[in-house]
Each structure stands twice: as structure tokens, then as C-alpha cells.
Structure 1
Amino acid sequence: MIIDDEVFGELNYEFGWTKDTTIDFFGKEYEISIMIDGEEDEEIDEAQYESYSSLMQHWGELQPSFIDVILKYYVQKRHELGYDVEVNERYPLISTSDQLLNHISLTGITIPFPDINEGRDIGITFDCTWDNENGLGIRLVNEQVLKVGYQDVAI
């Protein structure tokens, strides 16, 4: 099923509403998927529109906070795995935002059912060079980072 939504545009239903689009992330264009939790026979919830609209309104100013939390997460994960003392090619020393941006790629925005977390709930997914299988995810509530981890925290 395909609908033409006035906020999202043309959406396809595949176990939720989806749309492929292009978005700028730190000056680079990425082809991403927007995934909106929902049922085929129900309308998209007003809270989901609000979450997405607020994210897009603040997208430029939020990006540095994403990089900050991802960098902290990476440094912690690298330490937990012992790669801060033992060299591992998959987990190189990354200490700056610019270095980090060379190791991640934005892949998606997820908008869950509104009753999961209170507030404007959004997930951001990335591919990363250090974990091809699990990727990287950020969960935002009211445009504040709630969690960072594998992609499943964002889905």
C-alpha cells in the first residue's frame, strides 16, 4: 500500500511506513530510510508528526551532540574491549569529530509508536566501520540523547 502523506510525502507500507530520502549530515548528503511505526489501516499518530517535525526543525543544531555521544560511546567500547592497550584494526584510535565522521554513515531515522517513551521519540541509525553487524544507534527523547549503542536502541 502507498499513501501520499502531507508531512512525509509518499510512504510505502512494509511492516510500518517507509520512505527513502536524502538528508545532509555534517555537509555530506546521505540516502536514508525514514521508518514510521504504524499499522496499514491506521493513520500516523500526531505525536509521530510532532517528533519528526521537531527533529527536522533542530537537525542542524543537534548534529554536534550526536557526534559527542557517539565519540564517548566509541572510546568507552574500545576501552571495554581492551583495544586501548592492544591494537585492533577494526577499532582504531579515534579522538576527534572529524576522525569519527570518517567511520560512520547515517542510514535512517525511525519514529516509533508514541507510547514507547514519553515525549518526542526518535531513533537515528548509522553504519560504522568498527561493527558492521550491529551498527550504531541513538535514541532521542525531546531532542535529547537518551541512549547510544547498537542500532537496535534506535529501532
Structure 2
Amino acid sequence: MGWKHWYRELEQDDEAWDVSEEVVLRGRVHLDFCGQPSEIEVEFIVGADSEEQAQAIEEPTELQKKTWEKYMACSSVIHPQVLESIHHYYVGIVEKYRKAYSLWGEDPNEYAPYVERSEQLSDRIQPVSMLISDSSEQDELYLNFSCSWDREHGLGVHLKQMKVNRIQGAYTLYDLE
């Protein structure tokens, strides 16, 4: 797919300029994650040195475009690896969530069941967004998921060189990098 037109159609959010000195370019795209069709929000974070420079930003940086295009071209290979990594992470945290749901009087099997294979998590996670910062290295991005076991915070997956680097709650993942 040619992305030139899509880049120009991204919505610019520069209202946070006074606080963050960056511009967010947002768009939506349909994505197939391991057989699960999803529509996700994509955010390109572009830094600016002045308000005038911020207003002139119309597209992601070249590095961001390369990262995005490589991700999309390789997504059918990347997604199964991400799902396998999420499964490995989930096996390590499931007991904590099962105990919490039991304490709350809810059925832990509904939200945090035991699973043996990564495919069993496919209907328990939903990709919702992606973030590509201009301060990132090439081929570095963040995938965010809603998930059945942590309905408040979701799940964040940090990719470097299109390989899983770290997994944790979506809202805390950025704070540790």
C-alpha cells in the first residue's frame, strides 16, 4: 500500500504545545493481528523547537515513516512473535490477576483463565493503538492492547528492531524507558 496520501491525511494535535513541545499526528488503520481484524489508532510523536515549527509539521519524520512501513510490511511475521511473547508474559502474571478477581468476588476464569498456548489469548487481547516517537531508534515502536485480565491499564509491548523488548501495562511502559 502507498502511504503518501495517508501521511498527509493524519490529524495534527498541537494543542499540547505549551506543555510537551511536540506534535502528535494521528491516524487510523485496519490491522490484522493473528487473524483478528482490528482498527487501531496510530500516533506519530514529532518534536518541535518552536510553535512556528510545530505548526509547519505536516507528516511524520522520514525515520518514523520507515519504521511504520517496515512494521506494516512485516506484520504477518511480527504479530505471531508478539503473541508468543505476550503468552510468556501472561503465564508469569496470571496468578496475581486470578487472586485479585477471586478477592473481588468475580470468576477468575472469565478474565484471567489458565492458557497453554498463545493462540488461546487471541480473543482476550485487542490491539488498540501504536505509538512511534521521533526520538526513537529506527524500527522502534509501542503497541497497546486492551486485555481481559487488566481492563483498566491494558497491555503495552515495546518493539526494538521489530522484536519484543519489554511487555507491561500500557500506561507504565513509557515511564520505564
Q: Tell me the TM-score normalized by structure 2.
A: 0.73
CA contact (8 A) 1:5 1:11 kept: no
Q: Which has the higher helix share?
A: 2
Q: Secondary structure at the match of 2:159?
A: strand
Give me the whole-angstrom Cα distance separating, in 1, the residues matched to 2:91 and 2:163: 20
Q: Is 2:160 aligned against 1:141?
A: yes
Per-residue deviation, residues 7-44 of structure 1 (Å, max 9, x unmatched) = 53511012500012211112222111111102443352
Report what 2:151 is aligned to. 132
| 8 Å CA contact retained: 1:107, 1:126 | yes
- Equivalent residues in 2 for 1:4-153, closer than 5 Å: 5-6=4-5, 8-15=7-14, 16-38=24-46, 39-42=54-57, 43-79=59-95, 81=96, 83=98, 89=108, 90-113=111-134, 115-116=135-136, 118-152=137-171, 153=173
Bigger radius of gyration among the two: 2
CA RMSD of aligned residues (A): 2.5
Match of 2:26, SS state, is strand
After TM superposition, the structure 1 stretch with the greater mean CA deviation from structure 2, 20-29 or 134-143, is 20-29
Aligned amino acid, residue 77 of structure 2: E
Name the TM-score, length of structure 1 as normaliser. 0.83
Unaligned runs of 5+ in 1: none
Aligned sequence identity (%): 22
| In 2, Cα distance between equivalents of 1:154 and 1:68 | 21
Unaligned runs of 5+ in 2: 15-23, 47-53
**Distance (Å, rounded) in 2 between the aligned partners of 1:142 and 1:40:** 31
| Number of corresponding residues | 148
CA distance in 1: counterparts of 2:155 and 2:56, whole angstroms: 31
